[in-house]
Amino acid sequence: MTAGARQDRDFILVQASGIHGTGVFAKRSIPKGTRVIEYAGRRISKAQLLEAADRGERLLTYVLNLDKDTAIDGAEQGNDARFINHSCEPNCEVYIFDEIPYIYAMQDIPAEAELTFDYQLKSTRPLRISLALSRELFPCNCGAPRCRGTLVAPPKKRAASSRNSSERSAPPQG
């Protein structure tokens, strides 16, 4: 391939968001299925992370679940992906390949649209918090027509697919 035939694969820019603080936006149209960016950051054991958070030594703002035991903290060694906001009707999703999480476009995304994924926050405690408390503690401002009002994951339907959604997003919360 000649240099002239190369495509500019830099799809995103970071700027102020109407959803919250800083967000990530499409610099150009992004076709469905595009691997947009890796969710980079320091790998850390969830147990360590939660202990540090309980002691008030660490925030969980940029934390992404990786697997049962490990999370990624985008606050350290992170990249622009850490600024992607949540939406209850997102245009991106997280997939993990070879233990590396990537943000993928789950639909065609027009230029200038904000990129979002569904955080699906889950409690690390055995008891589920009520919807009312979820909305109070983790309110959602995504503005989607079917916004559930919270960043917390909806309860699993009994006949839900066996895919483990915790592998796709969801920073651990206390």
Ligand X SMILES: C[S@@+](CC[C@H](N)C(=O)[O-])C[C@H]1O[C@@H](n2cnc3c(N)ncnc32)[C@H](O)[C@@H]1O
* Residues near ligand X (CB under 6 A): 17, 19-23, 61-62, 82-83, 85-87, 140-142
Which helix (H) or strand (E) is 46 found in, with range? helix 46-54
Partner interacting with residue 58 (select from Zn ion, ligand X, none; CB below 5-8 Å by kind): none
Task: Kindly state the number of chain residues that form the binding site for Zn ion, as judged by CB under 5 A.
Answer: 4
Distances from the Cα of 168 to the Cα of 19, 29, 163, angstroms: 21, 23, 9
CA 3/CA 130 separation, integer angstroms: 56
Partner interacting with residue 169 (select from ligand X, Zn ion, none; CB below 5-8 Å by kind): none
What minimum distance in Å lies between the beta carbon of 153 and ligand X?
13
CA 134/CA 15 separation, integer angstroms: 27
Instruction: Identify residues 63-92 at the interface with Zn ion (CB under 5 A).
Output: 88
Q: Of 88 and 105, which CB lies nearer to ligand X in the complex structure?
A: 88
Q: Of 126 and 145, which CB lies nearer to Zn ion in the complex structure?
A: 145
Helix, strand, coil fractions of the chain, as percent rounded to 5: 15, 30, 55
What minimum distance in Å lies between the beta carbon of 74 and Zn ion?
21
Partner interacting with residue 56 (select from ligand X, Zn ion, none; CB below 5-8 Å by kind): none
Which helix (H) or strand (E) is 48 found in, with range? helix 46-54
**Of 60, 103, 121, 140, the one binding Zn ion by CB under 5 A:** 140
Tokens of 117: 């994924």
Contact between 50 and 174 under an 8 Å Cβ cutoff? The reply is: yes
Window of 29-37, 43-51, 57-65, 140-148 that interacts with Zn ion by CB under 5 A:
140-148
Residues in contact with Zn ion by CB under 5 A are 88, 140, 142, 147
